[in-house]
Structure 1
Amino acid sequence: MPVATRSLAGALCAGLLLVVGAASARAEGQDIGAVDKVQNTVLAEQGAGQRTLADGSPVYFQDLLRSGADARLQATLIDETQITLGENAVLRIDEFVYEPGPRGGSLALEVVQGAFLFVGGQVEKPHGGDVTIDTPVGTLGIRGTTVWGGPLDGRYGVIVLDGEVTVTNAGGTVTLTKGMGTMVDGAAAAPEAPAPWPEDRMGRAVATISFGG
């Protein structure tokens, strides 16, 4: 089945090829995952429409996911990528191309604000797909990764729990491997050199995406 970057090329076929992109209006309303669990109010905006998410709610391509005060969201895409959002977070899935098997695919997320946890799925396998996360302080290049990012201690932090991440902005690039993190002061400021995080900082990061009760 032909692949059309940043447009929806079609529905599932015998090879289960799914292509989703931002250029075509046909992409709106396409089911690409589901909510695992939600705490308090989390909204999904699609054009002028808005829905309140609950456990089991579908996640559609080009949804703008917006969490409220003390809210959390955990959702899994059809390739098993898992995304968790903390409170007052805003995230959009800008691109999703997935074909099971050796070809992998691509995924582009935009985190407008708030804390998130990303756990890579099959779109990254077996050779590492094209996965990026745009954040307020730069772009994360993802490879086989579990990564947390978000505001922390008046700055922006990124910590890799598995795999490898490059953090790139106007100030420079750093590469983070498992157990290494960086702090960034803004989109024009160079990310700090990779280093392990102190236990108390890790605790505060984890708390931002942890569900209550």
Structure 2
Amino acid sequence: MLKLKIFALALLTFLFTAPLSAQEVAGMVEKIRGIATATNETGVSELAPGSTVYVDDSLKTESRARLLIKFKDGSRLTLGENALIIVDDLLYQPDTDKQSQTIDVVRGVFSFVSGSIAKANYSNLTFRTPVATIGIRGTEFLGGELTVGMAAGRPHYGFQIYDGAIEVQAPGGSVVLDEPGEGTFLPLTRIAAPTPVRQWTPEEAAEAQEALAF
């Protein structure tokens, strides 16, 4: 009887002191410049090369910072300065159908190279931004808040494809980018369709690339 009580007490102690949920590893920091942080249920931590990134992490870069994340499936996400994204989901079990990846971009300029999850099934990957959801077809692309491409002083978002194809799905309509260098823009201040697909000018492409250069 005494042993049973001791066991019960030990079990209760474990249940009340164990973490509510184990953190699921999503990837790691491959490269960083300046200051970037991760926020999750355990608090806020400053990132460094080799730092672990977890599912549900909010990743934030400070002024003039850059951050490159390599996820478990080989996909890569680069963030420019003053960016904020959430690693909403990453489930990667090779050689099974249990694969999914969801990334929410809150602000900032970013580029993304898809990995094994999207290559196995494009519908496994969900990429959300403030103006559109991106349907990805095994690709490399960039997006974010830009100053060129639309009327001066009009806050807007842009997307450009480097390789593969994406569908920019906005409340006002959608377009497909499937030729390297093609891009589109959307205003940030109202519901609208993406602008007609066209090749970005050197000035438009340079702004986005400079925002991501280490």
TM-score class, shorter: 0.7 to 0.9
1:20-169 counterparts in 2 under 5 A? Answer: 29-47=23-41, 49-101=43-95, 103=97, 105-153=99-147, 154-169=155-170
In structure 2, what is the equivalent of residue 183 of structure 1? Answer: 185
TM-score by length of 2: 0.82
Q: Is the 8 A contact 1:104 1:124 kept in 2?
A: no
Give distance in 1, aligned partners of 2:141 and 2:122: 15
SS in 1 for 2:169: strand
In structure 1, what is the equivalent of residue 15 of structure 2? Answer: none
In structure 2, what is the equivalent of residue 6 of structure 1? Answer: none
TM-score by length of 1: 0.82
Which structure shows the bigger proportion of residues in strand conformation? 1
TM-superposed deviation, 1:107? 1.1
TM-superposed deviation, 1:202? 0.6
1:27 to 1:130, Cα distance in 2 relative to 1, 3 A: farther
| Structure 2 stretches lacking a partner, 5+ long | 1-18, 148-154
1:26 to 1:167, Cα distance in 2 relative to 1, 3 A: farther
TM-superposed deviation, 1:178? 2.9
Q: Is the 8 A contact 1:31 1:59 kept in 2?
A: yes
- The answer to whether structure 1 residue 208 and structure 2 residue 211 are counterparts is yes
Give distance in 1, aligned partners of 2:96 and 2:22: 27
Runs of 4+ aligned structure 1 residues displaced above 6 Å come to none
Moved more, 175-184 or 103-112: 103-112
Which structure shows the bigger proportion of residues in helix conformation? 2
- The answer to whether structure 1 residue 197 and structure 2 residue 200 are counterparts is yes
TM-superposed deviation, 1:183? 0.6
| Structure 1 stretches lacking a partner, 5+ long | 1-24
- The answer to whether structure 1 residue 170 and structure 2 residue 167 are counterparts is no
